[in-house]
Homo-oligomer: A and B are copies of this chain.
């Protein structure tokens, strides 16, 4: 005998561009939305019955209608409203998950003056929000994806392999001279009733400033310090998960070409990519 252990269905990669016009000043929000549902859909799998499944077109229309009212706002309230609409209209869904990703656009400035209606594409950094609800309990997890940062000093000693010796020439002080890393962060709110915009700005500042400016003995310690700053500053954030992918570079061996290298020249290599991930939460004991 077989049973269905778990199942979901939904739609992903719904791309929306919302332009909000307040007189001469426009705002643009560029969003990608995905929705996934759980529920008692064993019939659909075992017998092929469509009853209760959310049709793709109906879902798309609901996303568009909700975007009409909410997409000018932060992505967290938009996600909360969408999650609510999905559960209200589809009684067989027992759990809905809405994921929103926002690509930022930067307002053009000409001569130091912001233009109301012209934007340049932003960096690869993305804002994310994941809203999950069973109709009674909602979880709101905000995040940042693909925040890439480079430090050219203030780094920890390189991790040596067993058997390695320090460089006898004294030139190599054992410090890693370059760190290029891409960070992902996810943090959970204790409530859906928070001013999400300023919180997001504060968390991002904590990440960038701690990572960029604080001396640290290792990337592990850096991540923990970021979590410490965030959880100490925001009582409404219950936990934070940080993951870091370190992009590998190696210094060019300039001796082989007969010149000195007082400054540094690095060659980007593709692998391996070092990964560190940590979740820090409040200890309620």
Contacts and interface: CB of A to CB of B under 8 A. Distances in A.
A272 interface: yes
Contact of A2 (B21, B160, B231, B258): B231
A254 B68 contact: yes
Interface stretch (A74-82, A110-118, A167-175, A195-203): A110-118
Given A1-B283, A257-B64, A119 B220 contact: no
Contacts of A60: 272
Contacts of A21: 152-153, 262-264
A178 B12 contact: no
Given A212-B115, A272-B60, A16 B267 contact: yes
A45 B226 CA distance: 11
Interface centre among A7, A177, A221, by most B CB within 10 Å? A7
23 contacts: A2-B231, A2-B282, A5-B279, A8-B275, A9-B220, A11-B272, A14-B271, A15-B270, A17-B267, A17-B268, A19-B265, A21-B152, A46-B221, A48-B220, A53-B159, A58-B162, A64-B257, A68-B259, A118-B150, A118-B152, A119-B149, A120-B208, A121-B148
